[in-house]
Each structure stands twice: as C-alpha cells, then as structure tokens.
Structure 1
C-alpha cells in the first residue's frame, strides 16, 4: 500500500531504514481559506484595473477657444449705509415690569432687568449686525399680550405677540 505521498517503500521499511532517510513534510494542499484569499485578491485587482481603465478613457474634446473679455476691476466692499433701528416692547394692563435682551449697534448682547413696560430704544447700526430682541413680563399688568417689534428705517421687519402673565416674545430680523 502506498503512503499519502505515493512512497510504497515506506510501508516495508525497518526503523534503521527510516532513520537513514531524511524526513520530508507532505505536500501542502490548498485550503479553502487560501482559495478565498486568492479569489478576493484577484477580484480586488480586477476592480482596480477597471478603475484605472475608467479613468484613462479619453476626455471630452476641448471646447473651441473663447475670445477673452477684459474683466473690470472689482471695487472693494464699501461699508453698508447706516440704518435707524427701533426696538419696542408693549404689554397690556398697568404697572408692568419686565426684562429685555437685545443686540446693539455693535452686535453685542445687552440685558436690562426691572424696566417699566412699555419700553423703547433707538440706535443707528450697520446692516451687518443681527437684530434680536427678547422681552419678558416679570410682574404687574395682567395675563394679556406682550408684544415686541423691530423697526428699520421706518419699516417694521419683525413683530411678535405672546399671551400670559409671564409672556416672553422674541423678534429677530
């Protein structure tokens, strides 16, 4: 009977014959893992080849040359014209006391508390500043409406009304 490597003399050999003969490992057979890795490598190389081939396709022909048109120089940004801003808060009832938070002409947030309502402030700003007004009735008055508004150059750009004893409207524009 032959051995797995096909050597029939191995079966009839004596121990001294085996000691004199060098040992050779059996031939390795490809495993399932090796076959899968090889298949994955081949697939990856094929995909890479397709990508390279896809990128090397000839580009669209160049459009015909255009006549160059001179471009006028661009003027630097001019500062925005100043605007007149009015923030206003009104409340129903009498004896209203509240708080306001608003952005001023520099874009800074200003907070005022314990102010009598109605309340109003006016300032000049450039248009780049965000305009935000938040008001809240803290005491007095009734449970009726509290309103805020933002007016820019005579035009109301935001107006909000909230109901309730501690109503807190917010306007932005």
Structure 2
C-alpha cells in the first residue's frame, strides 16, 4: 500500500532546540480510531562516511555518547542542514573528524534510523583516494581516531563491539560492495 492510511487531526509542538523538534500528533489510525503519535523531527540530515585507503584500511571514531552514557566506536559521521548539499557536508565531517579528504565519493545507502518515532534520514558514503591532513574537531567533540584494516572493523560489528545503527548498516553494506 502506497497511500497513507493515517489521518492527522492536530499537531502540537512539545519541545524544540537547534537540532530536533518534538511533536504530538492527534490521529485517526488506519482502523479509523483516535490515537496519538509522538514524532521527533530532525533539523539535519545525517551522513556517515566509510573511508577506505588503497591498502584496505578504514578509520573509526571513538567518543563518549552522552545519551547512552557509554563510549562508542563509529564510522565518521555528523549532520548537515536540510536543504544543503549533503555530499559537501559529508566531506566537511570527514575532514573535521579524521583529517582525511577523498577524491572519490560513492553513496552506498540511505537509512531511516528509527522510523517508528523519527523522520531522521542518514546517507552513508564510501570515500576513496584519500589524502591525510589535520583534524578540525568541534568544541563538543573529544574524539579518538583509529586506523584499522576493514576486516577488523567488520569483525567489531560481528562481535557487537560496534553498535551504532548507521555504522553497523554502513559497514555491512560496504563489506558486501568491497567483497568481504
């Protein structure tokens, strides 16, 4: 079915900050009965990058994730304003977090991060033909950078050491594309 079976009766803003907006929707569900739906609207589109060098290495970013209250290893990622060129934002994020620049960029997937409560969309890129430079961390970032063979990163996904959904999906897709 491609038509929306839901009817929105009223949208009430609940909370807003520079990154998200939380809304409560009064709806009629597909059976025609009243209900509510909470929606988190993201003001940026997510992008993640899997840089691959000519030796088959990639880079991971480690950081403490406040919302999870734990340290996490991820592929380089960030956000770009809606309406802005997402590839340009991805290039900026890769440079900021790893110091890398890439000559070849391939979009390998689009992912909805949690489509039952949010409209967040992320795009994952494969970045190749790399040049190394200096990182440009944002003031909120305390990052550790690791350069590892892609096969080791894939093993980290399979062992559960990498749990970020965009990283897991992107690494698995890249593994398929790269023949791992």
TM-score by length of structure 1 reads 0.22
Higher RCO structure (Cα 8 Å, ≥6 apart): 2
Structure of larger gyration radius: 1
| TM-score (normalised: structure 2) | 0.21
